[in-house]
Amino acid sequence: MEIVKIRKGKKSDLKEIVRIFIKEFGKSPYNEKWSEKNAFLKFKDYFKFAKCFVAVVDKKVVGFIFADTYYQQTKKLWIYDLVVDGSYQGGGIGKKLIDFAINYFMKKGIDGVRLIASRKAKAFKFYKKLNFKETDFVEMEKKL
The CATH number given to whatever domain includes residue 103 is 3.40.630.30
Digit-coded pLDDT (tens) for 22-44: 999 999 999 999 999 999 999 99
One-character DSSP codes across 32-75: ----HHHHHHHHHHHHHHSEEEEEEETTEEEEEEEEEEEEESEE
Give the H/E segment covering residue 6: strand 4-8
Domain tally, the chain: 1
Largest CA distance in the chain: 47
144 in a structural domain: no
139 located within any domain: no
Q: Which domain holds residue 96?
A: 4-129
Q: Report if residue 70 sits inside a domain.
A: yes
Residue 35 located in a structural domain:
yes
- Residue 19, pLDDT score: 98
Kindly report the pTM of this predicted structure.
Answer: 0.94
Residue 47, domain member (yes or no): yes
Residue 84's pLDDT is 98
pLDDT in tens, 63-114: 999 999 999 888 999 999 999 999 999 999 999 999 999 999 999 999 999 9
d(CA 64, CA 98): 9
Sign of the dihedral through C-alpha 20, 26, 28, 31? positive
